[in-house]
Structure 1
Amino acid sequence: MSVFATENASCADLSLDELEDQIATLASHIYAGTCRWLELVAELDRRGGFAGCSVAEWLAWRCALSPRSAREHVRVARRLAELPLIHEAFGCGELSYARVRALTRVAEPEDERELLELARHLTAAQLERAVRAYRHVTAAEADDLHAIAYAGYSWQQDGSLVVRARLAPEDGALFVRVLEASRERLAEREPSAERGSAEPRRPTAAEALLAMAEASLAGRVDRSGGERYQVVVHVDAGEGGSTLEDGPALARKTAERLACDASLVEIVERNGKPLSVGRRTRTIPPSIGRALQGRDGRCRFPGCENRRFLHAHHIRHWAHGGETRLENLVLLCSRHHRFVHESGYSLRACTDGKLEFRDPWGGPIPYVSR
């Protein structure tokens, strides 16, 4: 029998005053406990999440929260660290989570004390209405929000790109909506589940952002075998080093993936100075690209039905002697192309025309017959 069941057995013996006091006291304990729980959530968030998923995704799984509720709890946990007075009142059991949630939507350090005093005299519902009115009053500062909007990026020492942005509310809402729509479209093309997982894998926000970039640059023409956009990579034919133009170094396998279906320009240099520049040629001629699109029509990775943003992949890379023939080519989506080049997956063409895929540990993945 649980502690709660034992205590509930004597509830009928309490007087009305005692019943009210215990309910209010336990509610205060719940508020303080929730504050402590959010402090732990904030620490997990500070450490970068759990096992490759976001903190909100982890909370939804481990604590059985809805995705929306999990995201809101993470938002509140982050704001509490910036609002010490509200944080203290919450930790003492003085404020309910509903009140704290409302306060963290608008409170800033300079007006925190005033809003906290307001919260002490209003119900949670009244405070929600007051917060909406407060937001309406500060909407006059919309021009300032647009003035401080920015977007920027920087290359890190490990070669990764960090993107930072701050948008006005309506612009931010538009961006989030497009990002979530992109994520949903990617999710629709996911296999039913990853191997060994009971649930389908949800695409990350980073993958959704990349898909947005590809869609923007591809324009209205969505096809494979064409030069949708250009990213310049310099590859040293002698030493094999690769770098992005005006950017960081790339892994050899990343450069090979980018070169699977790309334009090539041979530049002869001496002491860092170009001596001659050859004509630009494509690794995959348009005629073969059209035939490949007609044959495959979609990503050939098992379980993937993606028919957009496909890359022509050399089964045996041309840099290693592979020929640019239809028999040595296959269409893969952006994600699975990366799997094959950089994540340890492999494939080979069988004599009967089928493809044999293997995971990073050498285990076979059921092939797709076309």
Structure 2
Amino acid sequence: MPPPTTSFAENYVEPRLDALFAEIAELTGQRNAIDGRLVEIIAEIDGRGAADGNPLWGATGCRSIESLVAWKAGVTPRNAETMVAVAHRLDELPRLAQGLREGRLSLDRVAVIAERAGAGCDDHYANLVQYATVTQLRTAVKQEPRPDPDRKPEPKRGFSSYDSDGYTTYKIRLPKLEAAKFDAAVASHKDALVADWRRDHDAGDSDDEQAGAQTCEQAPPFPDTVDAFMSLIEAGWDTDVAARPHGARTTVVAHVDLDRHADKPVAALHLGAALTDEERRYLLCDATCEVWFERHGTPIGAGRTTRTISRRLRRALEYRDKSCVVPGCGSTRGLHAHHLVHWENGGATELSNLVLLCPFHHRTHHRGDITLTGPADRLVVIDSDGNPMTGASLARPPTTDPPDVPPCKGPTGERAQWWWYTPFEPKPPPASS
């Protein structure tokens, strides 16, 4: 509260706030109109209005229209999905699309309808969307009656983890049959551990009670369920290593920068966090050790002239590239190691001649849709039209005037009285004859 000597006029800021609100409304209307034009462009790229209905983005190297929009517009994948959802239903929602083009409706509000509402809902939501917020529209769409599925979907399995206080907590969700198999396997390993512990450490039959007491005090803890679970993991791991001899039970990768810390190596699990000195020494007692020499953070001296890419060289590729090297992709799973200069053309199996590609872009390259030229540290990716591909978006300063649309003040935001609201009811599908 201002002191009594301060006049009310000196602290009155409402005119300035009104001016700022007016500017927000003007810019919001322009942004809505720009979003409307963007979704029209996206729809055209995806084949809207084409005589053959084929999309135009097939030769860009992107695996989906959403990936293309996220790349070229420089937006998040979720925002790209929102824009594509509206673009796919422009013809089905003409009144909502018109409100977006005129700047009266925001892309987020129209997207709620485009992503979740039933067919034929344009007239129902055309008026509501002008007053309701995004949250209120989501509530309205949830009230639409949904057809009962013929059969309930199978429950989904789940696996998640989170780190806290130096430990990792796992949460596993399994169907009853698979959970019973898991319980039986853990119980079997626990019984085996308990039997081994009693055989090696049980001193109950010893004549020397003092020696038996010392044996019990020095014995490892009695096996519990966690020990049984780790035994199950190690048994499966050992079986896999036996089937694939190139697999390593435990591998410690020490990255040594020749320009720094040459006398003090820093060890890390492959693609993982750095290890403490104690953890490194513990693992090195029974592990495969690989040392990578680096200069300025880049591995050097990895690989040899052979077509087959060894596990050691594969680790170096994963450490360097992290993901698919094609701009706009970013895939990290199931990557293929690719020779920039093919083996049959004299290309060596060295880091400078190898890159990681996702299966989609690997096939796209060998079909001739994209071209990759090296070496890897100066990689150039060319599309089918001969244009270089970069990871940057197409955003640039505007060269035209902003759209001439009225200001958009947004939804009114009053509390919704849902007991008076009549949900939209999609028309039932036609009966099959």
Query: What interval of TM-score do these two structures reach, taking the shorter chain for normalisation?
Result: 0.3 to 0.5
Whichever structure has more strand as a proportion of its residues is 1
Scaled by the length of structure 2, what TM-score is found? 0.33
Question: Over alpha carbons, which structure has the higher Rg?
Answer: 2
Scaled by the length of structure 1, what TM-score is found? 0.37
Whichever structure has more helix as a proportion of its residues is 1
